[in-house]
Structure 1
Amino acid sequence: MNKTWIKRWESVRHLLVCPTDLESYFTSKEIFGLPMETMDIGQVSLHSGKVMVRDPLVYLNSAQEPYFIETPKGDFPVTVAVVKSEEWGSRYAVVRVRFTNEKPVIYREALIGNENLEDIQPDDYFGFHVDAGLACITDAEALPAFDRFVESLNVDNLYDDYFAKLFKKSYKAHPENQRESGDWINWTIPGTSYKMPMFASGFGDGSYPVYFAYDEQDIVCGLYIQFIDIELALSDEEEDDDYDDEEEDKERLQNFIFLN
């Protein structure tokens, strides 16, 4: 990150905002007809305020850069907004870290400071990548301890050989909104006081945006991970259904022509 990048970011940051009121996922009983629930999963430790959101099994290590906007320092509550659907099951739509009790008025994308900001368009986002179906929130200061612990395990598969039993234990203790294999844990890095919550990532692998919420005083009041834009997901399904209907209509027409 340099002065040129900051200048460019300041000129385009109005484009890197979330069009959805993410807080409504935590205050509404339903979103576009789908029931919503909230679930508290403990706290996250942000002792330096240098926050990161990553796939903990693939993209988490001390070589990674935190977001350039720093948060308040301390331990903060983490809440999951769960969408309930007959087709999807229970899915984690948005995860929130609340820093203050102020109401968000705008959500700006969390960036590292090295993104290519040329040709940014409305609704573009950078996000973070998920390849193992999981995400986590942590402090950059905690990562050297995380690296040392992972190295000390000396295992072939970090999930199967270590984390799987912790997720199963979480399900047994809190079965609501989890599969039997477990969908969230609030893990403390052994030998430290750093709490690092991990949780299932919406629809699984992919790229997901992270936003800092700002209050009326333009002060950061929260962090939101958007896994599912419910309105967009439903509209995409309708488009797919319309496409299937068109294909069925073409097939019926072809059969009619052939038979007559």
Structure 2
Amino acid sequence: MFGFGKKEKKKELKQYITGAGACVVTKSVLNGETGLKWLFRETDGIGNGWVALGESDTQAYVDDAANYAIVDFNTLANIEPAVLNILHMPAGADLEFKPDPSGGYFVDTVNGKEIREPVKAPIQEAFEQNLKYLNKESYPAEELLRYFHGKGDMRIFCMGEADFPSGEIIIADPLVYLGNDKYTEPLNRKIPAGSYPVELAILDSPVAGLRIAAARLKIRETDICRYEIAMPVGTTVAQYNQPGIFAGFGVDAGMACFCDVAAAKEFGEFSDGWHQQNPGKNQYDDYFAQLFRSSYEAYPDVQREDGDFIEWAVPGYGHRIAMFASGLGDGLYTGYWGLDAGEEVTELIIPFMNPDYFS
């Protein structure tokens, strides 16, 4: 069916791109007999779905399967580098190539739009939108409540419990900052001492795959009336964004956690001891990685293969810390208190991803 004709001496190809998948090209274009003219992307097509046709290809020519070849997308890019601009356009794209002194560009045959710059990958576009969505001073209550309604592509999963013997909460990247008082401060509200369930909003996204879109510490069952940004201890919401006041937490290992102040201190002592006993080793690779893999084996339907969450008790102490992946990974994130009609804390939620951008 598809394939090359007689063997010819191949020209050395430039490596414009790797891993872009295979595409279908008419042999007339591949052999330089005609210039590229049409490019469209099929749903469930061969390879990445792109099909390239030549300027002189007749209807009879394109109707004959013997006139096509399956090649790596990089091969097509060697014929016309402008195709790199449209690689990430969605299935259903229908384009016409227009050569010009600049090297050529594409025109969308549906809306007439000229495409002269690289089209962003859906995940990149969604990521940039998501950055603008996060870390706001406030959100309408319904904006954060929707994470745990279990509707659409979102599933709610209770990953376990975390212990709060002091009632003072820290949210942080556990693999980089937890146990270091310089980079982790308790939040400005306390909760009654006790153990509380941790729930994850699992988003099954066609753009980003299986991800944790939000995490919450469920404290009471009363209805939420509003959300309030979680500030550092000793500060108020009125001080949000004032110089020297930092109301979020940084993530550098793709992880976040809900942790009590006492458990954070215990974690620091455990971590120091572990490194002393395991010089030259990496605490994630040589200790935590297996725990996350075991979590995946126990709950494969709600996390990625390397594991996205664990309920972990600090060895030698027993207080549990809830650790979980932070949406798309590293960045800056913020917690929000859910408050009921009596201004009592009902939950603490950390939003990681706006599901609207990843559906």
Identity %: 37
In structure 2, runs of 5+ residues without a counterpart are: 1-135
Matches within 5 A, 1:171-250: 171-231=296-356, 233=357
Runs ≥4 residues deviating over 6 A: none
Are the aligned partners of 2:188 and 2:234 in contact in 1 as well (CA < 8 Å)? no
Q: Partner residue of 1:75?
A: 195
In structure 1, runs of 5+ residues without a counterpart are: 1-14, 238-260
1:86 Cα deviation after fit: 1.1
Q: Partner residue of 1:100?
A: 220
Q: Partner residue of 2:290?
A: 165
1:50 aligns with 2:168: yes
TM-score, normalised via structure 1 length: 0.76
Deviates more, 1:17-26 or 1:149-158: 17-26
Are the aligned partners of 2:141 and 2:226 in contact in 1 as well (CA < 8 Å)? no
Q: 1:170 to 1:28 in 2, by over 3 A?
A: closer
CA distance in 1, matches of 2:180, 2:266: 9
Within the candidate set 139, 145, 153, 1:23 is matched to 145
What is the one-letter code of the residue matched to 1:189? V
TM-score, normalised via structure 2 length: 0.56
Aligned length: 212
Q: Bigger relative contact order, structure 1 or 2, given CA contacts below 8 A and separation 6+?
A: 1
What is the one-letter code of the residue matched to 1:134? M
User: If you compute each CA radius of gyration, which structure gives the higher value, 1 or 2?
Assistant: 2
1:228 Cα deviation after fit: 1.0
Cα RMSD of the aligned pairs, angstroms, is 2.1
Q: 1:227 to 1:118 in 2, by over 3 A?
A: closer
Deviations 1:202-242 (A, max 9, x none): 010001110111001111111101111223x35xx9xxxxx
CA distance in 1, matches of 2:351, 2:240: 23
CA distance in 1, matches of 2:240, 2:270: 39
Deviations 1:43-87 (A, max 9, x none): 011111100110001111151320121112100011101111111
CA distance in 2, matches of 1:92, 1:44: 18
1:146 aligns with 2:146: no
